[in-house]
Structure 1
Amino acid sequence: MTIPEQRLRAFTYRIFKSIGCSDADASLAADVLVSADLRGIDSHGVARLSGYVRLWENNRLNATPNVRIVHETPTTATIDGDGGLGLVVAPYAMDVAIEKARQYGSGWVAIRNSNHFGIAGYHALKAVDQEMIGYALTNASPLVAPTFSSERLLGTNPICYAFPAGQYPPVVVDMATSAAANGKLEIADRTGKPILEGWALDTQGNPTTDAAAVKKGGALLPLGSDCEHGSHKGFGLSATVDILSGVLSGANYGPWVPPFVAYLQPVADQPGQGIGHFVGAMRVDGFRPVSEFKANMDQWIARFKEARRINEQQPVVIPGEPEYESVQQRKTHGIPLVDAVWQDLMGLASKFGIESPAAGH
């Protein structure tokens, strides 16, 4: 099923309204999810919608949060998300970071007591729109085993940098710090395909290509796959994300981060509050004139695109380039949804008495 962007956006907005979100919050949350689908990151788009609804149904998500600053200096802040949608809390935090950067050159905001915030790139790109460099990361429920272990202690813990350019699209480095995002395993599981070797371990700690391995109690591996291929680097990146997002903000961290799956309750004796994020913005003109920076960014991009190829049919791909191309394609031709996601959306439409996004299509 392929759905026009605006129909999918309107449907998603109505679902968030149905659980009690304000007009502004429902519109923002829908924008974050549909932006993920437009960018081709299907694992974090409307495929996640029913997950947020289930969290709300299990009293683990506050649809009307009082998002507020609880600690602040001229260039930093800590925000309490009041158990709200991370899709709403994180953009609020990035707005705070951008305003601090506008006044002082850079702004850095830690967030606690939040929930899953969608794609990190959405939040980092808010800074790019203001001629700034954006930074966004979040911890997540434990699915990843640290190097030399089979115990799930870390999340996929994505990290994102976004850099403005001139004639080219922004360079957006948006990636999980695990060997693969869990969403990729979910997509493979839904379509009945195996995953690549080096992505996951089974419950015995053995390598596996079973897409349902993590769902069955196995673990994802850090970026680098195993110790022989540099997994300590992925472990280090993931640890950095967890410490900045969780330990610094007062959110939960490591094995205490609450699960996104609603029927799994958070473990007892949590040291913090909810899920944590960390966002930042840096004014380019705090370092040099924006026009000069963009000209050099264009030169940097052009040179890498001209790199000598191993395979003549495969050029070097600039970070963020596939997502940019996906946006152009899907805005014109619509957003494709696999059957499992479509059935999920139909279940939500029935639950809340809302018209299907395909109605009239």
Structure 2
Amino acid sequence: MYPTFTETKLRTFTEDVFKAIGCSNEHSELAADVLLKSDLRGIDSHGVARLSGYVRLWEKQRINAKPDIKVVHETATTATVDGDAGLGLVVAPFAMQIAIEKAEKYGSGWVSVRNSNHFGISGYHALMAVEKDMIGFAMTNASPLVAPTFANERMLGTNPMCYAFPAGKYPPLIVDMATSAAANGKLEIAQRSGKAVPEGWIQDGQGNYTTDPHALKTGGALLPLGSDRDHGSHKGFGLSATVDILSGVLSGANYGPWVPPFVAFMEPSPNPPGQGIGHFLGAMRVDGFRPVDEFKANLDNWIKRFKSAQTVDSTQKVIIPGEPELEAEANRKVNGIPLVQAVVDDLNLLAERFGVERL
């Protein structure tokens, strides 16, 4: 059993650490909210376990605690935002708010982002649009850890994408996924837990399957969604390429092998073609296509029908995208958020350094 902590305890701790590195109260609260949303939804790889990583990047002067986030290019329905090397946890919500405001006026809004950093879970940003009865889109490129189909070189990030749809009596339907066979955060969890990973997640330096979660440290690479060509890895490669182009090439951020690493001990590539990490966010008004109530009623019907689909095993059920995260959030709000001891120890080192209350 892992030690558990209340949402309030972890939120206060996280805010205090962000304030300690110089973030404003507003930015500290927002950044903490993004991380806590991840932990509440059971996505432990992108929650407070990442906090020390942001601090280390700040120490390397690769994260600006007081960014001047601004629009550098704009049309009625589109914009490009420069994040001034700020926390992606702050930059991405800023950009999504612009997309929402444009959608409110013109039906849809699309914003690309450059010069940012890791933005947490895609679902947080996409759900901002859902709250306004819009369909939300959020994606980001990431440091190169994934080898394209047939390759033995890291060229792409895990490059997650999220699509979020407002429903009626049911919770929003949220498709939030990495375009790699597994997110790097899951490897980190396996490393901390001392467990092997499933075959098909990662290859070693010679391109062979391995279950060693430490294989990235010895020249290995994550695999695209699908794992190999026979199982559709070219589709995962294509999805990842789409995220990389929309997030990086379109915005003026770095892309492919030039995306800066999240880990502070690895230096960014020399002579990069762009600035920082890139994101792409969008919002579409449902009533730009049909009345919102009609759409929600039909989506409710869609969800109900899929939930009732006959399964191969009578003990199983069809899982609607977003359901596991919603169940985790309901449970963790009551019973607390579990953290592996290695994460607790890591966070308490931050507490000692910055003079905040230990967990």
When normalised by structure 2's length, the TM-score is 0.99
1:287 aligns with 2:289: yes
Distance in 2 (CA, whole Å) between partners of 1:150 and 1:222 is 12
1:206 aligns with 2:208: yes
Q: 1:82 aligns with which of 77, 81, 84?
A: 84
Which runs of structure 2 are paired with 1:246-325 in the superposition (5 Å)?
Answer: 246-325=248-327
* Counterpart residue number, 2:141: 139
Distance in 2 (CA, whole Å) between partners of 1:6 and 1:311 is 40
Distance in 1 (CA, whole Å) between partners of 2:79 and 2:221 is 34
* Counterpart residue number, 2:26: 24
Which runs of structure 2 are paired with 1:105-184 in the superposition (5 Å)?
Answer: 105-184=107-186
**Deviation readout 1:44-100 (Å, 9 max, x if unpaired):** 000000000000011110000000000000000000000000000000000000000
Q: 2:191 aligns with which of 166, 189, 192?
A: 189
Distance in 1 (CA, whole Å) between partners of 2:93 and 2:284 is 16
Distance in 2 (CA, whole Å) between partners of 1:253 and 1:355 is 39
* Counterpart residue number, 1:229: 231
Distance in 2 (CA, whole Å) between partners of 1:171 and 1:77 is 26
The alignment's C-alpha RMSD in Å is 0.5
Aligned-pair identity (%): 71
Distance in 2 (CA, whole Å) between partners of 1:123 and 1:267 is 28
Instruction: Please state whether the residue corresponding to 1:214 is helix, strand or coil.
Output: helix
Instruction: Please state whether the residue corresponding to 2:62 is helix, strand or coil.
Output: coil
Distance in 1 (CA, whole Å) between partners of 2:213 and 2:263 is 17
1:215 shift after superposition: 2.8
Code of the residue aligned with 2:151 in structure 1: it is S
Distance in 2 (CA, whole Å) between partners of 1:122 and 1:273 is 23
Q: How many pairs were matched up?
A: 357
Which runs of structure 2 are paired with 1:59-70 in the superposition (5 Å)?
Answer: 59-70=61-72
Segments of 5+ residues of structure 2 without an aligned counterpart are none
1:217 shift after superposition: 2.2
1:189 shift after superposition: 1.1
Instruction: Please state whether the residue corresponding to 1:113 is helix, strand or coil.
Output: strand
Which runs of structure 2 are paired with 1:346-357 in the superposition (5 Å)?
Answer: 346-357=348-359
* Counterpart residue number, 2:329: 327
Which runs of structure 2 are paired with 1:15-54 in the superposition (5 Å)?
Answer: 15-54=17-56
Code of the residue aligned with 1:169 in structure 2: it is P
1:216 shift after superposition: 2.6
**Deviation readout 1:316-345 (Å, 9 max, x if unpaired):** 000000001111100111100001111111
Distance in 2 (CA, whole Å) between partners of 1:58 and 1:44 is 21
Instruction: Please state whether the residue corresponding to 1:215 is helix, strand or coil.
Output: helix
Distance in 1 (CA, whole Å) between partners of 2:206 and 2:157 is 19
Distance in 2 (CA, whole Å) between partners of 1:215 and 1:98 is 40
When normalised by structure 1's length, the TM-score is 0.98
Distance in 2 (CA, whole Å) between partners of 1:249 and 1:153 is 19
Distance in 2 (CA, whole Å) between partners of 1:216 and 1:39 is 32
Code of the residue aligned with 1:134 in structure 2: it is G
Instruction: Please state whether the residue corresponding to 2:215 is helix, strand or coil.
Output: coil
Code of the residue aligned with 1:4 in structure 2: it is T
Distance in 2 (CA, whole Å) between partners of 1:139 and 1:343 is 30
Instruction: Please state whether the residue corresponding to 1:173 is helix, strand or coil.
Output: strand
Q: 1:7 aligns with which of 9, 17, 20?
A: 9
**Deviation readout 1:22-57 (Å, 9 max, x if unpaired):** 000000000000000000000000000000000001
| More divergent stretch after superposition (335-344 vs 208-217) | 208-217
Runs of 4+ in 1 over 2 A off after TM superposition: none
Segments of 5+ residues of structure 1 without an aligned counterpart are none
Distance in 1 (CA, whole Å) between partners of 2:349 and 2:136 is 36
